[in-house]
Amino acid sequence: MIPLEDFICFTPFKVDPCETIEIKRYRSSKTGLTAVHADIDGPLVSGFLSLGTKVTNDEGYPHTLEHLVFLGSEKYPYKGALDLLAPRAYAPGTNAWTDIDHTCYTITTAGSDGFLQLLPIYVDHILYPTLTEEGFCTEIHHIDQNGADAGVVYCEMQSRENSMVDIMQRKLQHMIYPPETGYQHEAGGLIDCIRSLKIESIRDYHSEYYRPDNLIIVITGKMDQAQLLSTLRQIDKSILSRTHHSQLMTASIQKPWMPLPVIPNMESSSIETVYFPSESSSLCEITAFLDIQAIHILNSYLVDTPIAPLNKLFVEHNSPYCTELDFRVAERSRLAMTLGFQNVPIEKADEIVPMLIPALNEIYYNQQIDMQRMKILIEKERLKVRSSSSFNTSLYGEIGNDDFIDALQQAKYLRKLANFSRKEWLALLKRTYLDVNYAAIIGKPSQELLEQIMEDETIRLDKQRISLGIDDIVVDHVQLQSMDNSKSQIPSRIMENFPIPSVSSISSIDVSTAVNPYYLKQATNSNDIQLHINNDGDMNDIPYFIQYDQISSAFITLSVYMNTSHIPSHLRPYGRIYMDMIFASPLLKDGKYISHSEVVQKLDSDIISYDATLGYQAAFREYIVVTIKVEASKYKSGVDWLQHLMWDTQFTHKRLVVAINKTLNDIPQAKQNGKLVKAIHTDITKSTEASCSYLYQDTFLPRVLKQLEINPDKVIQDINEYRSILCQAENLRIHVMGNILNIDNPKSAFQPWKEYQSKVKALPPVVRSRDVLGPYGLRPGYCTNIIILPSTESSFSVHSTKGPQDYDSEEIPSLLVLFELLHAMEGIYTRMVRGLGLAYKCWLTHLTEAGLITLFILRSSNILNAYDNIKLVTHQLVQGDVSFNKYALEGAKSSVIFDIADSEGTKEVAASQSFINKVLRQSDRQKVDFFRKVQDVTMDDIQKVLLKYIVPLFDPATSNHVIVTSHLKAEEMVQSLDRKGHSPSIIRLEEIYALNIFQPPV
């Protein structure tokens, strides 16, 4: 521990397996303000500003306060000041979360200069917010012009309160935690309580918990320590200058969670059933609580991969008990373990808990711990760098002692676990799972509860409208509008005193690229990597497209992008089954049959991680992508595994039934999230993404199951035909990333693959989303649909129109800057929607691959009012009645630049982007040039793209609209949309493909 004037610097230490990440800790001797810095390579700097907060009721104090913090501070008493300044620091904005024992505010910037500029302003907002009555009305709760309840927080919690997950979590907290612990209540607030909440209570809560000695700032990224200390001293000085702070520091106040709350053992085990509103009657969810000290490795052993003991018992069945189970650890004053069973068939709901403990007992008494698999799991965990949080240690302990250091030394403990004997693992299993009582919650859907909630809400709103009277409602609405219109504007001097750092201050990750020289036109790189590839055997030896990206890493990641455009339409839906089965099926390798359990065990031994997905993130989802990650020393083994998985997998009747039933049980819960609305744009006969969606699989998989009963050979023949077309060598584009220069045989390792293609074949064109669009995707217009989602009390909507299709379009920089001007936290759209409490969030996206622009409105209490407000302000922008100022334009440009830096924020992501840009986007765009084009965007450019691409979103003739809402609001929406020329239809999710509503005529 080293005193540095007014700050104490604790001894630095290193974490992660390679000991490359250094942790530094600082604490003010005057205010108690604490900071922790983790020195991590990359262009981004992230901050997590966390305070211990306690919940003693369901009023939602910590959550509502979290929202109000962003509405201005003593030094910056301007709504949105923080989010107007954030883009000038190369940040996309600010955010926060509320948990049951802490509240955390976040910020991420490109480069450290902007971060250090913004940090004092952020702390000022946290410690000294304005907390006004006006802010409370718009952000927390008010009554709208229709006499209905609104407000950003109200909308958010209304959408969550009656969900299956929230109902079960609240019940669980009441069962396992005594009231005095502070863990029993809903930190977000229940809507009945929010309706009666007052601003004075939130101010009192802030005074109690938002103290500098209860604030810890955790920073990750590259940063000069002298500059960090200088900024911390600036913050400290500002705190000490407040008269109320000096009074506060004289009082002796303990941290919220000190001393630690006592959580006693449960006196007995118990099982309770709760109900959630839903029309679906096929599935439920189960959560079993085990009050334990948890070991992550033991959890992984029990549930990870298809051969894990509990996975085999509950999931790997022709008739599974659930589709997924997972352990979650709640790190409170005492660890709590939750074992969750997702998507349980309702007829099996009451069977699961009685099976669980006997199954664990059987493992214990029969000593069924596979020590070889356990060692493999420990080694895999050792190779992963887990992001360890400093929050819990600071909440329940002291950052200056050894406990803080020990909490981050995962690698050290894994080395000790590697020496555990079978006896020690069994003792841990008994102590952790068998010698304790548990509480179990069974959540079941209820049509009756759904109807009751709808009826109760209708009655409550009618009473509220009568009680308030039409005159009071109108007056309140006018006052609300005037509150928003009279907000103080942030003075220009503050903006000018917050200069935007130079783009040169943003570091970048170097990625060098080479390609397999077999495709000579592509092999134009002149670097050490290309030379290394060229020297590995004959230049024309391996007839596959392979791109190599060099980054500093101890691992190699291999991905095969498989073009699905040549799959016949009747086989296309098999893509989901293929992805689900590729890593969990038998192999026929060199004439030897290897069972699926042996395959899984060998994969665990050789491979760190593996996955099969559609596309890369949200893009290029007409490709199936098979990815594996291995230690660099196992590169050849990784290449061989890909070969065997693609060409030697055996699709059997038993494994097909298991995979199909698992997916079928996933579907009802997937429907509950309401996000399955892409079907409006795509042609199901052409699109792999659409045909693999849960929505279409709901109609396809039952037919396959029936066919498996009648003629299983036909199904196996179909999926083998699917695989044979998919894995034709010309359909494959291979990506290898890692330290290529350290691999002896980067190209010749693929020599065995010549068995499947011995000579050159032309690569087919890259397939993109626009190639599979249906009539409404190709020509948006006159398509407005209201989808009923019974489980929701709020609404969300998706509105689409045409956009640029060329990745190198000169309009894209202007369009991206316009998006930021509109949907940033203090953007014009956000102020008209979130600022008036009409919805939780709205944002715009542009998918160049599809040539579509989309507006989303999320968690809205009045979705049509939100949409109308956005439409109104758009036309005001066109007519010049509303305009952007130069500071907003500068901030929007900086936000776009951050997004680009963020898209290449880690070495692995930067290497992946290299492949996407060069191979799939086939773009000539250079990052430096794009930065310049963004900075060159003018107001005239903004007006042009606004008129060309955004205005059509509000014309029924040039846009498509999907609104997801409840029964209660659907008919009213139809009438309102009819009056506006939309001709809407009400449909159910299951009707979209069953009736082929959006598909072209045959």
Q: How many Cβ atoms from other residues are within 10 Å of residue 883's Cβ? A: 12
Residue-level pLDDT at 207: 92
pLDDT value at position 68?
Answer: 93
Instruction: Report the share of the chain in percent with pLDDT over 70.
Output: 87
Helix/strand/coil for 2: strand
Mean predicted confidence (pLDDT) in 249-253: 55
Residue 199's φ and ψ, nearest 5 degrees, are -65, -30
The pLDDT score that the predictor gives to residue 509 is 78
Query: Tell me, what's the pLDDT at 456?
Result: 81
Stronger pLDDT, 409 or 510, i.e. the higher one? 510
Average pLDDT of span 226-242: 92
- Asked if residue 873 has pLDDT above 60, the reply is yes
The band of 384, judged by pLDDT with boundaries at 50, 70 and 90, is: low
How much is the CA Rg of the chain, to the nearest whole Å? 29
Q: Would you say residue 90 has pLDDT above 70?
A: yes
Q: Is the pLDDT of residue 566 over 90?
A: yes
SS3 of residue 869 by DSSP: helix
Q: How far apart are CA 826 and CA 833, in angstroms?
A: 11
pLDDT band at 626 (very low <50, low <70, confident <90, very high): very high
Confidence of residue 291 (pLDDT cuts 50, 70, 90): very low
CA–CA distance, 234 with 95 (Å, rounded to integer): 23
Enter the tokens of residue 838. 């009409």
| Residue 89 pLDDT | 87
Task: Say if CB 454 and CB 967 are below 8 A apart.
Answer: yes
* Strand duo 21-28 + 34-39: pairing: antiparallel
Rounded CA separation 779/145 (Å): 36
pLDDT of residue 579: 95
- pLDDT, averaged across the chain: 84
Instruction: Tell me if 536 sits within 8 A of 518, measured CB to CB.
Output: no
> Which is more confidently placed, 395 or 878?
878
Q: Which residue has the tokens 């955390």?
A: 104
String of DSSP letters for 532-581 = HHHTSS-TTS--SEEEEEE---SEEEEEEEEE-TTS-TTTTTHHHHHHHH
CB–CB of 903/913 below 8 Å?
Answer: yes
CA 817 to CA 336: how far, in whole Å?
46
pLDDT of residue 372: 84
User: Range with the lowest mean pLDDT among 47-56, 92-101, 172-181?
Assistant: 172-181
CA angle 661, 667, 669 (to 5 degrees): 125
Asked if residue 755 has pLDDT above 90, the reply is no
Nearest to 491, CA basis, from 831, 72, 123: 72
Q: Are 965 and 739 in contact (CB under 8 A)?
A: no
Q: What is the pLDDT of residues 388-433, one digit of tens each?
A: 344 455 555 566 666 566 566 666 667 777 788 888 888 888 887 8
> pLDDT tier at 271 (50, 70, 90 boundaries)?
confident
- Contact assessment for residue 118 and residue 89, using Cβ atoms and an 8 Å cutoff: yes
Is residue 946 over pLDDT 90?
A: yes
Residues 6+ away with beta carbon under 8 Å from 937: 813, 814, 817, 889, 893
Residue-level pLDDT at 1002: 46
Strand stretches in 213-334, DSSP E: 215-220, 270-277, 283-290, 324-331
pLDDT band at 937 (very low <50, low <70, confident <90, very high): very high
Highest mean pLDDT among 372-381, 440-449, 593-602, 925-934: 593-602
Does the pLDDT of residue 877 top 90, yes or no? yes
Please, how many CA atoms are within 13 Å of residue 358, restricted to the half-sphere of its CB?
Answer: 6
Section 877-900 average pLDDT: 89
What is the residue type of 929? D
CB 925 within 8 A of CB 766: no
What whole-number distance in Å separates Cα of residue 774 and Cα of residue 83? 39
Q: What pLDDT was estimated at residue 796?
A: 87
In this predicted structure, what is the pLDDT of residue 703? 94
Q: Does the N-terminal peptide bond of residue 261 adopt cis geometry, omega within 30 degrees of 0?
A: no
Q: 446: which strand partners?
A: 277
Distance between CA atoms of 198 and 131, rounded to whole angstroms? 11
Confidence tier at 386 by pLDDT (50, 70, 90): very low
Is it the case that residue 284 has pLDDT exceeding 70?
A: no
Q: Is residue 670 predicted with pLDDT exceeding 60?
A: yes
Q: pTM score > 0.85 for this model?
A: no
SS3 (DSSP) at 57: coil
pLDDT in tens, 459-481: 888 888 777 776 555 545 555 55
Q: What is the mean pLDDT of residues 125-145?
A: 88
Contact 532, 612 (CB under 8 A): no
Look at residue 735 in the predicted model and tell me its pLDDT. 96
Cα–Cα dist 525/743, whole Å: 19
84 neighbors 222 (Cβ within 8 angstroms) = no
Assess whether pLDDT exceeds 80 at residue 869: yes
Nearest to 833 by CA among 780, 782, 888, 870: 870
Q: What does the pLDDT read at residue 787?
A: 86
User: Counting Cβ atoms within 10 Å, is residue 538 exposed (0-12), middle (13-18) or buried (19+)?
Assistant: exposed
Residue range 511-562, pLDDT digits in tens: 889 998 876 555 566 788 999 999 898 877 888 999 999 988 888 999 999 9
Given a cut of 50, whether residue 206 has pLDDT beyond it is yes
What are the two backbone dihedrals, phi and then psi, of residue 424, each rounded to the nearest 5 degrees?
-70, -40
Question: What's the CA gap between 596 and 648, in Å, rounded?
Answer: 12
Nearest of 39, 36, 35, 34 to residue 16 by alpha carbon = 39
Using CA atoms, how far apart are residues 868 and 971, in angstroms rounded to an integer? 18
What's residue 388's pLDDT? 38
DSSP 773: B
- Among candidates 27, 34, 35, 21, which has minimal Cα distance to 6? 27
Q: What is the pLDDT of residue 293?
A: 34
φ/ψ of residue 356, rounded to 5: -65, -55
> 426-440, 598-612, 857-871: lowest mean pLDDT where?
426-440
pLDDT for 408 equals: 64
pLDDT of residue 138: 82
Task: Report yes or no: 408 and 390 within 8 Å, Cβ to Cβ.
Answer: yes
Q: Which residue type sits at 576?
A: R
Which residues make Cβ contacts (< 8 Å) with residue 624, sequence separation at least 6? 561, 562, 564, 575, 578, 579, 612, 613, 614, 688, 726
Does residue 322 register a pLDDT over 90?
A: no
Q: pLDDT category, 281, cuts 50, 70, 90? A: very low
How far apart, in whole angstroms, are the C-alpha atoms of residue 190 and residue 156?
11
CA distance 816 to 814: 6
DSSP string, 191-218: HHHHHT--HHHHHHHHHHH--GGGEEEE
Q: First-to-last CA distance in the chain?
A: 76
Q: How far apart are CA 616 and CA 708, in angstroms?
A: 32
CB atoms within 10 A of CB 713: 10
Q: What is the mean pLDDT of residues 778-806?
A: 86
pLDDT beyond 90 at 154: no
* 3-state helix/strand/coil string of 396-445: HCCCCCHHHHHHCCHHHHHHHHCCCCHHHHHHHHHHHHHCCCEEEEEEEE
Q: pLDDT at position 630, please?
A: 92
Judged on CB neighbours under 10 Å (0-12, 13-18, 19+), 633 is exposed
